[in-house]
Amino acid sequence: MSETLWRLSVFIGVLLLMVLWELVSPKRKPRYKRRQRWPANLAIVAVDNLLLRIVAPAGLVGVALFASEKSLGLFHALTVNLPFWLTVVISIVLLDIAIYWQHRLFHRVPVLWRMHRVHHADPDFDVTTGLRFHPAEIVLSFFIKGATILVLGAPALAVVLFEIILNACSLFNHGNVELPKPLEKIVRKILITQELHRIHHSVEKEETNSNYGFSVSWWDHLFDSFTDRPKAGSDNIDIGLRDYRDSKITTKLWELLKIPFKRD
């Protein structure tokens, strides 16, 4: 299968699995019905992908192939030839660290936070929240990832695998579900679980500014941004942003697109 088909197949598979899980065993009772939130959350994904097709039709794989053709990046400059599988693994790890720091910067730099708050302004927390990113953030993220790929000289296979893992983890850890507690204690040592990422969507600023990882939880431990438990307890986390409580803004596509341009 082509790279696009692989990514789409995994994306749809994980999305359907998480939706089914949420229907069968939801963690929290949502503030709004799905028909109120989902149209905007799903529509913004369509806008994001359409814009990316216009801005960068070759995608990140195209960037990796360009780096390979021109022998650009760290891996091409090394005097020691690493095994291909090791190059792929190292590339995925370094790309994940780059996304961790990208996420952290989007919280700390005011102009970047303006874009990212579209994601955090979702008044509920479910699998579609993992899709809800402003088009400007998606395009900027593309260029950040593209620059990282060029600096590393990451192989195309690593890029494909990284994107599949990143998308799958984002859908997984935004789910309105919970793992059995004994299992969750084990899984969170490796992955960002729903319990951990729900903390990141708390209205409490110190909790929002923690648990930045999208896939593994290691970087939050390593870079001192890990929050183990929310102050209000797992069942009582207040989700969203205090400044964005109006459903006419937080659940409508056009209003979401305008959020970065609104005054604080």
Position 264 scores a pLDDT of 66
- Distance, in Å, from the CA atom of 63 to the CA atom of 48, rounded to the nearest integer, reads 19
100-105 long-range contacts (CB < 8 A, ≥24 apart) are 100/212, 100/213, 100/214, 100/219, 100/220, 100/223, 102/141, 102/144, 102/145, 103/212, 103/213, 103/214, 104/212, 104/223, 104/225
CA dist 90 to 84, 155, 168, 191, Å? 10, 10, 19, 18
DSSP secondary structure string for all residues of 171-225? HHHT-S----HHHHHHHTTTB--HHHHHHHTBSSHHHHTS---SSBSHHHHHTT-
Look at residue 97 and tell me if it is in a domain. Answer: yes
Six-digit token string for 82: 């690493």
> How many domains does the structure of the chain reveal?
1
Taking only Cα atoms into account, the Rg of the chain, rounded to an integer number of angstroms, comes to 18
Q: What is the DSSP letter of 31?
A: S
The answer to the question of residue 152 being in a domain is: yes
CA-to-CA distance for 213 and 204, rounded, in angstroms?
18
Closest CA to 10 of 154, 177, 163: 163
The confidence score (pLDDT) of residue 19 equals 98
Domain boundaries, position 146? 3-24+34-261
Per-10-residue mean pLDDT for the chain, 264 residues long? Answer: 83 97 96 97 97 92 96 91 95 98 98 97 97 97 98 97 96 97 97 98 97 97 97 92 95 96 80
Kindly state whether residue 29 falls inside one of the protein's structural domains. no
What span, in angstroms and rounded, lies between the C-alpha atoms of 164 and 125? 22
DSSP type of residue 127 = G
Q: What single-letter DSSP state applies at residue 228?
A: -
Distance CA 194, CA 202 (A): 13
Whole-model pTM: value is 0.95
Phi, psi (degrees; rounded to nearest 5) at 222 = -65, -40
Ranges of beta strands (E only) in 38-83 are none
